Amino acid sequence: MTAIEALWRERVRAAAAAGTPLCLRGGGSKDFYGREAGGDVFELRANTGVVAYEPTELVVTVRGGTPLAELEALLAAQNQFLAFEPPHFGPAATVAGCVAAGLAGPRRMSQGAVRDFVLGVKMLDGRGELLSFGGQVMKNVAGYDVSRLVAGSLGTLGIVLEVSLKVLPRPVAEATLRFEMDEAGAIERMNAWGGQPLPVSATLWQAGVLHLRLSGADAAVRAACARLGGERIDDATAAVLWQSVREHAHEAFALAPGESLWRLAVPTTAPALGLPGRQVMEWGGGLRWLAGPADAAVVRTRAAAVGGHATCFRGGDRRGAVFHPLAASVATLHHRLKKAFDPAGILNPGRLYAEF
């Protein structure tokens, strides 16, 4: 146990004994996400550094407070990257914050979610106990890897001290194609492409334009370009486009006063939602962003009607319901997990849901 870990363990134990809520905070780049957390601010940026990196094994272990940009620079030097393309949303983003938020970028549709790359986690739970789950290899065993629970938990289960992540080599070749088509046409086309052996790594539809990114072997990318047609945009422009989507710097995500940004996860085959506001589609149609002064009940009802769910990603009242209401059985599981990891309820209470 390091000196920082020992110090933090005592602070958590004291908070649990006194019933004092703690607001866990790394770089603060995702403070806007989730419900408003109360409690004493617990700064976690001091716990930094690379614990182990084996480029040939495609795995890296780092401490939670390590800047995300620093980790990505380390990987880039070996021509590797975090294939789920986590958004930073600010220069101070940390690795623990990346995992705790569980947010992935445009490549999520082809490579998987954050939890799919978490191999192991060392954490402090709400009792101040040091826990370790998983390891540095992807195991093929029955059961659920507890370390994956941390992804998307927003600090409600524990403080991430270390995390081991699977990394991948960067694609040899990439190309981005541009097509003009309406929303219904884009949904149909993206689903058709999804059922074919094409090296699709990202899609983006907005305002009548569909962008398609292809990644992989040079021959596969060239063959796909010739087969699909469309207008190929130059690599520099494409890099700026996909980075702007990843970091929400694209104009489609800009909000006027009083507007909110909604994140709707739906089946890729879901039809046009018909909701008022500006819409962006990613992940082959499985992720739909809605920007505007939309009514929460209307958005959630429509998302549920097509088999999905909706999150108020930015804006809105962060003291109210941000995430889609849980079914009773799922809420019970959430309560039990929270009780198991944080019986005193001191870690980011209310950040996910008001009840826990």
Running along the chain, 356 residues long, what does each successive block of 10 average in pLDDT?
A: 95 98 97 93 97 96 98 98 98 98 97 96 96 68 71 97 97 98 97 95 98 98 97 98 98 94 98 95 98 94 97 94 94 95 96 91
Give residue 37's pLDDT: 84
Q: Which pLDDT does position 147 carry in this prediction?
A: 87
Q: Which pLDDT does position 134 carry in this prediction?
A: 81
Residues 245, 160, 312: CA angle, nearest 5 degrees: 40
Alpha helices by DSSP H, listed for 142-292, are: 183-194, 218-228, 235-246
- What is the structure's pLDDT at 189? 97
| Per-residue pLDDT at 141 | 46
| pLDDT attached to residue 130 | 96
SS3 252: helix
- Integer angstrom CA distances of residue 297 from 258, 274, 277, 309: 16, 15, 15, 12
Q: What pairing do the DSSP bridges indicate for beta strands 80-81 and 168-169?
A: antiparallel
State the first-to-last Cα distance of the chain, in angstroms, to the nearest integer: 29
51-60 contacts, C-beta under 8 A, 24 or more apart: 51/162, 52/136, 54/136, 55/80, 57/136, 58/166, 58/167, 58/168, 58/169, 59/119, 59/136, 59/137, 59/164, 59/165, 59/166, 59/167, 60/164, 60/165, 60/167
Three-state DSSP class for residue 120: strand
pLDDT at 136: 59
